[in-house]
Amino acid sequence: MLEVLHSLANLSTPLHHGVIFLFNGAEENILQASHGFITQHPWAKQVRAFINLEAAGVGGKEVVFQTGPENPWLVQAYVNAAKHPFASVVGQEVFQSGIIPSDTDFRIYRDFGNIPGIDLAFIENGFIYHTKYDTADRILTDSIQRAGDNILAVLKYLVMSEKLADASEYRHGNMVFFDLLGVVVVAYPARVGTILNYMVAAATFVYLAKKASLPGNAGGRYVRDLACATGVAILSWFVTLLSVLIVALLITLLGRSMFWYNHFYACVCLYGAATTGKMVFIHTLAKNLYYGGVRLVELGDLYFDVSLLLWCCGLVWLTHQGLCSAYVPMLMVAFPLATRLLLAKEFKHKGNHTSILIVMKRCV
């Protein structure tokens, strides 16, 4: 904040709007300082938007995990200005659902000041947070530089924006937003996302229905195999969850609870191995018992369709609940389905060429 203040103070171009830097305390004591400012300070009435800086870990990338409410122009400001974007609407909806037992000053400014804002936070190495190891020397200068680049760029964009003068005019729904490998942020209105989600779901059900309506016994056999494979997939999830819980219980009984938290590879070996082993076991068992005469290629196609079906059900449910996080199952359905259809068309196209060449050769 001091470096951003220093940079703004040395700008040659006059700012269109004022900037208040609020260094407040008492956050962990029921957010008293932010509440006192937004409800009692005379400057609070002049604030039209805010950027809240948080830390739920030490270093790493600072992620945008809350925006708004219902101010898509703020998301667009971040999209247009951030040098190193890292954002996801999934974090926003998970955090605001109350699943994570935590809170930030963002809620105070939003609920008591009716002010839109952006909430950013460091989340890496969360096991150090609020412990005796949470010291300044553990914060990497690269993380501070990255955050400073983003915050300064977004702040410059906002203080020159005409929308900041009367932000209430631009409140029109939520935004779906997510970054692609930290290079660019994709953002579009939630209502557009709803239409897109239902279109993808409809295309998936048409694709599956076409297979189920094959002539003769092929359609009925496909439906039975699809239902059985879906049951196997769900059973594998249940057995995997059960195996992971058993491993966690054994570690707890041995008095080594949470020892893996700062040992990534130990976590992978313990829980990753249990998860992979159980899923492979369930699917291998199903193949040997039920799909004894089915070729591996056909079995792969069947489980591809099962994946589409399950992700599509999740897509429809999340979209019906009005959650912007539905973009995740949408991507998990849209790209595999499009790839499958394009490849099928390509192979069919090549097959037709082959047949023509064979006929021509025979004619000669």
Residues with catalytic roles:
27
C-alpha–C-alpha distance, residues 108 and 282, integer Å: 49
Are the C-beta atoms of residues 195 and 54 closer than 8 Å to each other? no
Phi and psi angles of residue 122, each rounded to the nearest 5 degrees, phi first: -80, 135
C-alpha–C-alpha distance, residues 364 and 350, integer Å: 21
Structure tokens at 306: 């099962």
Are the C-beta atoms of residues 68 and 116 closer than 8 Å to each other? yes
Which residue type is seen at 162? Answer: E
C-alpha–C-alpha distance, residues 112 and 31, integer Å: 12
Long-range contact list for 270-273, CB < 8 A, 24+ apart?
271/244, 271/247
Distances (CA, A) of 148 to 49, 80, 225, 307: 19, 16, 55, 41
Which residue type is seen at 316? Answer: V
Are the C-beta atoms of residues 326 and 88 closer than 8 Å to each other? no
